[in-house]
Structure 1
Amino acid sequence: MKKNVTDILDIHTHKLEADSLGKSIVNYPLLADSPLYMPFAGDVEVDRGYYYSVGIHPWELTEHNAGQLLDYLKQQLRKKQFVAVGEAGLDKLAVASMELQLTVFKAQVRLSEEYGLPLIIHCVKAVDELLAVKKEFRLQQAWIWHGFRGKTEQAVQLLKKGFYLSLGEYYSDETMRTVPDERLFLETDNSSLDIEDILCRAAKVRGVEVEVLRETIRRNIQNVFFRA
């Protein structure tokens, strides 16, 4: 069981709590399983020793469940164990229409601002739409692009727009070296790797000692997810 927020290095995982070893912000399932059209996960309890993110993933979204998902999301965000909204975002490969995705994503942006929580973003082939939404709002909360695998040029574009980038098992070394210390997060997502493996590789790529990068990631997590 996690005893201290300074143990956390991984801002996004789908591992079970016990498997994350207290080093992760666990992605809480709004639905009982995550391909499409699955029932609500109403019997899933949060473990008070851990912290969670929760959001409506575009893959889970349908015309029939959007309202219920938003209501259920609001209920979960009232619990102090939830420290981020997400995954939330836009995906042109998802079944849901872009119109519906935009409506629900904007609702989650508002919830992020209302609850004072950072937003963990999933985006596939919808960068222009995502940036247009960002421009609509006067944002106070951090937007974190999770599992970033894009080219360095796209990373630079997003950094200029104020994004944080979270890198996992797959990325280009050039991109890892491009992200400044204060905008970098690490994650395991669906990887079988431990966050320590990802940390060690990232430190090698960035040319810094593991403990130096560990402190950088801890400081960013404290400042974005657990600020007073």
Structure 2
Amino acid sequence: MNPYVNIHTHHVGEGINILDVGEGKAWVEKEEKREWIEGQNVFYSVGIHPMKLNESGENLFAGIEDTARMEKVIAIGECGLDRRSPIGMKTQEEILAVQVGLAEALRKPLIIHCVKAYSELIAMKRRTGSSVPWIVHGYNNNEQILRQLLNHGLYISVGAALLDSRSNAFRLLRMIPAERLFLENDDKEVEISVIYEAASAIFEVDVEVLKEITRNNYNKVFGK
């Protein structure tokens, strides 16, 4: 059987996990103390969240490049654009562009956080000519934006919003092509298996079918 693939998480569970460790500064020391548990395979993403920026940008990337080069770090992020951030959009775009450049240099995919700035996000993808995969995590927006993201080649990851039948994620899940789909639990206290069960009910397929789909996508995107 294929394992669950949890493309973006803040707490490790069953299956293949990409654990978000933020800027990664405290990761190495903590990781040395991790107790490995059978059934859990842990990889990492390192990046600067748009809600955690500072105006000066001083030392924002201290240590990130070295950490990002580590074998177990397989993605850059979560990074992106967020209109709720106290930092101006121009600064956010500049810092995202640096992380896009890092992802390109290391040939590692991007885990994207985006809130109310999808047009700017798509414009940046076009402007940078980025060729590594971009995965928009926690998607729960409208149909028009979803179509735009898909048209520009982005992957879509959906999470706990699937548990709410009134959500956009629930309503639009079937629109996401199988070859662009990922699932996650982000920072929610819900097992990844529950997310897969919810998605399987919407797609009307067995959970094992979804696990095969996301594993194939994972292999393609991360070269595993």
Question: For the superposition of Structure 1 and Structure 2, which TM-score range results when normalised by the shorter chain?
Answer: 0.7 to 0.9
Structure 1 runs of 4+ aligned residues shifted over 6 Å read none
Structure 1, unaligned runs of 5 or more = 1-5, 32-39
What are the within-5 Å matches in structure 2 for residues 94-109 of structure 1? 94-109=85-100
Q: In the alignment, residue 62 of structure 1 is paired with which amino acid? A: N
CA separation in 2, counterparts of 1:196 and 1:22? 9
Question: For residues 109 and 185 of structure 1, do their structure 2 counterparts lie closer, same or farther at Cα, with a shift above 3 Å needed?
Answer: same
CA separation in 2, counterparts of 1:29 and 1:112? 15
CA separation in 1, counterparts of 2:134 and 2:64? 18
Question: For residues 42 and 207 of structure 1, do their structure 2 counterparts lie closer, same or farther at Cα, with a shift above 3 Å needed?
Answer: closer
CA drift of 1:187 comes to 0.4
Alignment partner of 1:60 is 2:52: yes
CA separation in 2, counterparts of 1:44 and 1:69? 20
Question: For residues 68 and 22 of structure 1, do their structure 2 counterparts lie closer, same or farther at Cα, with a shift above 3 Å needed?
Answer: farther
Q: Which residue number corresponds to residue 30 of structure 2?
A: 45
What are the within-5 Å matches in structure 2 for residues 33-182 of structure 1? 41=26, 44-46=29-31, 50-64=42-56, 66-170=57-161, 171-172=167-168, 173-182=170-179
Q: In the alignment, residue 26 of structure 2 is paired with which amino acid? A: A
Native 8 Å contact 2:118 2:145 kept in 1: no
Question: For residues 56 and 188 of structure 1, do their structure 2 counterparts lie closer, same or farther at Cα, with a shift above 3 Å needed?
Answer: same
CA drift of 1:8 comes to 4.7
Q: Which residue number corresponds to residue 164 of structure 2?
A: none
CA separation in 1, counterparts of 2:155 and 2:28? 33
Secondary structure class of the residue paired with 1:24: strand
Secondary structure class of the residue paired with 1:52: strand
Secondary structure class of the residue paired with 2:61: helix
Secondary structure class of the residue paired with 2:114: strand
TM-score by length of 1: 0.85
Q: Which residue number corresponds to residue 35 of structure 1?
A: none
Alignment partner of 1:27 is 2:54: no
Alignment partner of 1:9 is 2:1: no
Q: In the alignment, residue 89 of structure 1 is paired with which amino acid? A: G
Q: Which residue number corresponds to residue 191 of structure 1?
A: 188
Structure 2, unaligned runs of 5 or more = 162-166
CA separation in 1, counterparts of 2:88 and 2:79? 15
Percent identical: 36
Q: Which residue number corresponds to residue 207 of structure 1?
A: 204
Question: For residues 206 and 9 of structure 1, do their structure 2 counterparts lie closer, same or farther at Cα, with a shift above 3 Å needed?
Answer: same
Q: Which residue number corresponds to residue 37 of structure 1?
A: none
